[in-house]
Amino acid sequence: MDDWRNGGFGLYLHWPFCQSKCPYCDFNSHVAASIDQGRWQRAYLAEIDRIGAETQGRVLNSVFFGGGTPSLMEPELVAAILERVRATWPAANDCEITLEANPGSVEAGRFAGYRDAGVNRISMGIQALNDADLHRLGRLHSVAEARAAFDVARGLFDRISFDLIYARQDQGLDDWRHELREALAMAADHLSLYQLTIEDGTAFGDRFARGRLRGLPAEELSADMYAVTQEICEAAGLPAYEVSNHARPGSESRHNLIYWRAGDYAGIGPGAHGRLTLGGVKLATEAPKAPGDWLQRVERGGHGEVPRVALDARDRAFEYLMMALRLREGLDLTRYQAMGGQLNSSKINELVEIGMIARDDSRLWATAQGRMVLNAVITELAGD
Amino acid sequence: MTQLDLIRNFSIVAHIDHGKSTLADRLIQLTGTVADRDMKAQMLDSMDIERERGITIKANTVRLEYPAKDGNTYILNLIDTPGHVDFAYEVSRSMRAVEGSLLVVDASQGVEAQTLANVYQALDAGHEIVPVLNKIDLPAAEPDRIRQQIEDVIGLDASDAVLISAKSGLGIPDVLEAIVKRLPAPKGDRNAPLKAMLVDSWYDAYLGVVVMIRVMDGVMRKGDRVRMMQTNAVYGIDRLSVLKPQMVDIDELGPGEIGVLTASIKQVRDTRVGDTITHERKGCEVALPGFKPAQPVVFCGLFPVDANEFEPLRDAIEKLALNDASFTYEMETSAALGFGFRCGFLGLLHLEVVRDRLEREYDIDLITTAPSVVYHIYMKDGTMQELHNPADMPDLTYVDHIEEPRIKATIMVPDEYLGDILKLCQDRRGIQADLSYAGQRAMVVYDLPLNEVVFDFYDRLKSVTKGYASFDYNITGYREDFLVKMSVLVNDEPVDALSMMVHRDRADMRGRAMVEKLKELIPRHMFKIPIQAAIGGRVIARETLSAMRKDVTAKCYGGDATRKKKLLEKQKAGKKKMRQFGKVEIPQQAFINALKMDG
Ligand SMILES: Nc1nc2c(ncn2[C@@H]2O[C@H](COP(=O)(O)OP(=O)(O)O)[C@@H](O)[C@H]2O)c(=O)[nH]1
Ligand SMILES: C[S@@+](CC[C@H](N)C(=O)[O-])C[C@H]1O[C@@H](n2cnc3c(N)ncnc32)[C@H](O)[C@@H]1O
Ligand code: SF4
Ligand SMILES: [Mg+2]
């Protein structure tokens, strides 16, 4: 049961606070009046110690500070965490240490501190390149501020990614083409381009349910936007390596590849999920979502997790299929079969015939066309 | 046992919504049969579907004790009867067990189509009829006008009709007095050999088969050994009860009394409604006339969405049939749907009720194929075949001609909607037979093909008249017409479950409507899907369902794996509600909805 080694080992740290809540966002993020960063530091360190003891000797391929808005963390806090991480696991030579940052001016002021703490990659949530749309998305920063923050980051880090949300309200195909070209002009080595998803339980979700969120693209336009995105990025040397992620070859996010390649990752912090292979069994771990709840449990009970769930062969194979097909490289058939995964060859042939998937002796992957309807491809392949 | 002259047996007949169930509730309440705190609205409608749709499907009965003004306490047996045209047969059957009827007419609406149909059945059964004008609490109530209308349209003396409000309880004591004074007591001889009518039977999960009986002569006692005269089966009576409406055990039932028995009867099929029950020894000589079994007029296939559920479906259908003698079934195999059942129903509501019960009570998802009437196919060799299923249509080269069932439809409608009704009937190949007026309502009689009515005629009627029209029909006979089989091809594969018989002149329109509907009902697939309607090899309508273009989750990282997995698993479960035809998955509702026409 060393299968996880094919994907590597990473650490995800969740910082659950933001300055304000964006109307589209269903991440575990909260607005708090004051945050006692010292208290949070003790909790993170305790959790690192606990997980470290279970995973002794593993080589760490990546650390990711996600949120929420991790760029609200004091650089000292990030430094203390990374120091403990280094003391706990041997790091791979090319260990990737990413921090998710909001592109405000205050955040930018902390970037140098993060670099000094050991962060070597920044992922910025720029979201849009026009102020009116940033406003509609409930963002606190302007395009100018975002560009300035991005320039600061460029001066400090070799590896920088940023996120854009497209297929926004009233966005036309040409609007997006234009915006994307601008984005590519400033891009470094990586871009995450997400189509706006209306999530239940968000402000947008409520408005949508009441019929009050107008101007969203219909399926046709959203499909065209997606296709155009693939084309333009590919031509600019940042092809998609995953459904929504583009990189210069070699600059793919190592951390996210761990998820899609079904590696192991420890999840620490409120609401963080993990996958850990321990004693030959792949466990799904999950932390309580409410920040106060998590903090208290770590402080009092000694750990911040809800009961772990052992994944059976079916779950593992399905998860691998579902995650790996998001990648251009697709699924390793030998691995999949070793997990106990099954594929129906007539289904495969049908999907190959209509151009949704392709395969060779060792791999099976979704074509560009297949990736656009990946949910349907996966449900077909997963059969019953 | 009760003296004959202290018994009254009656039913209530009414057009739907005129207040039959509410009146029954009031009678139950006023006689203290059910304590107030146990009273729930529509006591007698016990099945979920009945309560939900507010219709009475199975005849139900209750025994009331009423201390009358003359100082005697009477036993009143009320049999509640269904109001819908599909169940006319059950109405006529239960009416044979009683001597009189309360004719309930809504005093604001007046006589409606089912009022007429039901009252004629009561008259056929030789009933004494007491007219009751209900809803006189409504400002729109016009008791005088309606009284006159009853006399004019039905020819019944309504001068001493009882005026009531079943809702408020006004006039209910007068109804009870009228039952005692104006309805006849049953006749019978308690010293004669036992002769009891098997009125109804149903299956109860706890008790097994329960048989409702009306004793004509003689005395039936718990423990007696009795013979069913038609089936010749002999049973020992385990339990004898009356319904109040809960079962209350009783030692014996004498002439004129109505009650239920249980014996070790395995299935309702072992009982014949209308059969005569007598003692095993010293039985009666001559049986009661008996009823002819109900003839199903609408047929359709019922298939499990999940082919693995055939056995559970068989069990469920058998159980349901235990309780419903008018529902028929036989096994059917379809090229596309696998194993299922061809089922016969009294009408479309009956079909829907049975299907709902199978889905709800037995938790089986079903595909219902296009309902069909029974066609008579006359072959060139002079023989005739009954066609219950368009899929079985013989090769046309051997067919001489085809006949279809026709009905006489009686529709009552306010003047202002008359035009719409005439157009609807005309569109459905109707031939007008009569048009007259009863007050401000028109009464139209049409000769219509049953196949144009069976499916959605009633829905259309309600919608074009905003619910103001009423409708009743009876089958009059068969007539030749230019009928063809229309097949439907999805992704170039014929879907036999959607094929149907249509009139040639209506085929293009129906074909077009069908492919357009299917285009909406079938979800997009990863490839485009042609949908065609054809007669023989000739395509008469065609649509193309374009391919799905985008269906992918934008973000999926470590924390999303679990959630996304659940989502996809839900999608997979959703597919279980669909059936695969070649490469295409068709959702279960598509089958029935594809047939609904907008015009
Ligand atoms: N205003 C008024 N409404 C009534 C009266 N009797 C019944 N209803 C209402 O009429 C509707 C149909 O009654 P129901 O007893 O179910 O009719 P059924 O279809 O003949 O059994 C219900 O909404 C009743 O509440 C009445 O005397 N006055
Ligand atoms: C953890 S989130 C937020 C990171 C950071 N707090 C920020 O807002 O810049 C990561 C990314 O997910 C994307 N995202 C969040 N909600 C989304 C939604 N409903 N639809 C599409 N993309 C979304 C945004 O691009 C966001 O930058
Ligand atoms: S999008 Fe980023 S900043 Fe906005 S609420 Fe979500 S996590 Fe916080
Ligand atoms: Mg009723």
Total structural domains in chain A?
2
Last residue of a domain, one of A241, A258, A275: A258
Residue-wise pLDDT for B207-229, tens only, equals: 888 899 999 999 999 999 999 99
Residue-wise pLDDT for B483-519, tens only, equals: 999 999 999 999 888 899 999 999 999 999 999 999 9
Report yes or no on A204 lying in a domain. yes
Q: Give the rounded percent of residues in chain B with a pLDDT score beyond 70.
A: 91
A166 and A52 co-located in one domain: yes
| CA distances in angstroms from A373 to A325, A333, A357, B586, listed in the order given | 11, 21, 11, 19
Q: Dihedral sign, CA of B515, B520, B523, B528?
A: positive
Q: How far apart are CA A45 and CA A82, in angstroms?
A: 9
Q: What is the pLDDT of residue B231?
A: 85
A205 and A328 co-located in one domain: no
As for the ipTM of the complex, it is 0.92
The length of chain B in residues reads 599
pLDDT category, B124, cuts 50, 70, 90? confident
Q: How far apart are CA A297 and CA A287, in angstroms?
A: 10
Report yes or no on A31 lying in a domain. yes
A242 and A351 co-located in one domain: no
For B557, nearest residue in chain A (alpha carbons)? A259
- Cα of B449 from ligand 1 centre, angstroms: 33
A218 and A349 co-located in one domain: no
B165 neighbors B134 (Cβ within 8 angstroms): yes
Q: What is the pLDDT of residue B221?
A: 96
A65 and A167 co-located in one domain: yes
| CA distances in angstroms from A63 to A59, B253, B288, B558, listed in the order given | 12, 86, 89, 13
A337 and A201 co-located in one domain: no
Q: How far apart are CA A274 and CA A259, in angstroms?
A: 10
Report yes or no on A277 lying in a domain. no
Q: Dihedral sign, CA of A329, A334, A336, A339?
A: negative
Q: Which domain holds residue A333?
A: 313-384
B583 with A350: Cβ contact below 8 A: yes
Report yes or no on A368 lying in a domain. yes
Residue of A198, A327, A379 best to disrupt the B interface, most CBs of B under 10 A: A379
Residue nearest to atom 9 of ligand 2 (CA): A125
A252 and A321 co-located in one domain: no
Report yes or no on A100 lying in a domain. yes
Is B308 one of the annotated binding-site residues?
Answer: no
Choose which residue among A27, A73, A256 to substitute to test ligand 2 binding: the one with the highest number of ligand atoms within 8 A of its C-beta. Answer: A27
A128 and A200 co-located in one domain: yes
What is the residue-averaged pLDDT of chain B?
87
* Torsions phi, psi for B54 (to 5 deg): 65, 30
* The token pair that represents B408 in the structure block: 């006489």
Query: With a cut of 50, which residues of chain A have pLDDT below it?
Result: none
Residue nearest to atom 19 of ligand 1 (CA): B17
Residue A125 Cβ contacting ligand 3 at under 6 Å: yes
Could you tell me which of B73, B75, B139 has the C-alpha nearest to residue B107?
B139
Q: What is the pLDDT of residue A70?
A: 97
Contacts of B527 in chain A (CB under 8 A): 354
pLDDT category, B40, cuts 50, 70, 90? low
pLDDT category, B302, cuts 50, 70, 90? very high
Could you tell me which of B475, B486, B494 has the C-alpha nearest to residue B407?
B475
Single-letter residue type at B324 = D
Distance from CA of A346 to the nearest CA of B (A): 11
Q: What CATH number is given to the structural domain containing A130?
A: 3.20.20.70
A4 vs B351, residue with greater confidence: A4
Residue-wise pLDDT for B147-180, tens only, equals: 999 998 888 999 999 999 999 999 999 999 999 9
Q: Which residues of B touch A (CB under 8 A)?
A: 525-527, 548-559, 561-562, 564-565, 568, 571-572, 575, 583
Of B549, B556, B565, the CB nearest to A326: B556
Could you tell me which of B357, B355, B298 has the C-alpha nearest to residue B48?
B357
For A351, nearest residue in chain B (alpha carbons)? B526
Last residue of a domain, one of A258, A285, A302: A258
Report yes or no on A174 lying in a domain. yes
Distance from CA of B210 to the nearest CA of A (A): 43
A259 with B555: Cβ contact below 8 A: no
For A353, nearest residue in chain B (alpha carbons)? B527
Cα B451 off chain centre by: 17
Mean pLDDT for B376-396 is 93
For B527, nearest residue in chain A (alpha carbons)? A354
**Up-side HSE of residue A179: CA atoms within 13 Å toward CB?**
24
Q: What is the pLDDT of residue B292?
A: 66
A19 and A101 co-located in one domain: yes
- Cα of B6 from ligand 1 centre, angstroms: 30
Report yes or no on A272 lying in a domain. no
Mean pLDDT for B542-559 is 93
Could you tell me which of A53, A79, A64 has the C-alpha nearest to residue A9?
A64
Mean pLDDT for B136-146 is 95
Q: Is a pLDDT exceeding 60 seen at residue B428?
A: yes
Q: What is the pLDDT of residue B43?
A: 55
pLDDT category, B453, cuts 50, 70, 90? confident
Q: What is the pLDDT of residue B56?
A: 41
Q: Give the rounded percent of residues in chain B with a pLDDT score beyond 90.
A: 51
Kindly tell me the burial class for residue B530, based on how many C-beta atoms sit within 10 Å of its own C-beta (0-12, 13-18, 19 or more): middle
Residue-wise pLDDT for B560-595, tens only, equals: 888 888 888 887 777 767 778 888 999 877 877 787
A143 and A61 co-located in one domain: yes
DSSP for B230-295, written as a single string: TT--EEE--EEEEESSSEEE-SEE-TT-EEEEE-S---GGGS-TT-EEEESSS--SS-----PPPP
Mean pLDDT for B128-152 is 95
List of residues 6+ apart from A75 with CB closer than 8 A: A110, A112, A113, A114, A116, A117
Q: How far apart are CA B31 and CA B172, in angstroms?
A: 10
Q: What CATH number is given to the structural domain containing A335?
A: 1.10.10.920
Last residue of a domain, one of A223, A258, A293: A258
A252 and A332 co-located in one domain: no
Residue-wise pLDDT for A273-312, tens only, equals: 999 999 999 999 999 999 999 999 999 978 999 999 999 9
Q: What is the pLDDT of residue B208?
A: 80
DSSP state, residue A19: S
Mean pLDDT for B320-341 is 82
Distance from CA of B269 to the nearest CA of A (A): 39
Choose which residue among B12, B16, B17 to substitute to test ligand 1 binding: the one with the highest number of ligand atoms within 8 A of its C-beta. Answer: B17
Q: Which ligand is nearest to the CA of A102?
A: 2
Of A196, A372, A382, the CB nearest to B552: A372
DSSP for A232-248, written as a single string: HHHHTT--EEETTEEE-
Give the count of beta carbons closer than 10 Å to the beta carbon of residue B293: 13
Give the count of beta carbons closer than 10 Å to the beta carbon of residue A131: 15
Mean pLDDT for B384-391 is 91
DSSP for B17-59, written as a single string: TSSHHHHHHHHHHHTTSS-GGG--SSTT--SHHHHHHT---S-
Contacts of A367 in chain B (CB under 8 A): none
Q: What is the pLDDT of residue A206?
A: 95
pLDDT category, B35, cuts 50, 70, 90? low
B326 vs B432, residue with greater confidence: B432
Q: What is the pLDDT of residue B472?
A: 79
Report yes or no on A276 lying in a domain. no
Single-letter residue type at B116 = L
Is B392 one of the annotated binding-site residues?
Answer: no
Is B137 one of the annotated binding-site residues?
Answer: yes
Distance from CA of A40 to the nearest CA of B (A): 21
A373 with B558: Cβ contact below 8 A: no
B549 with A219: Cβ contact below 8 A: yes
Q: What is the pLDDT of residue B597?
A: 60
A63 and A212 co-located in one domain: yes
Q: What is the pLDDT of residue B33?
A: 67
B565 with A271: Cβ contact below 8 A: no
DSSP state, residue B224: -
pLDDT category, B57, cuts 50, 70, 90? very low
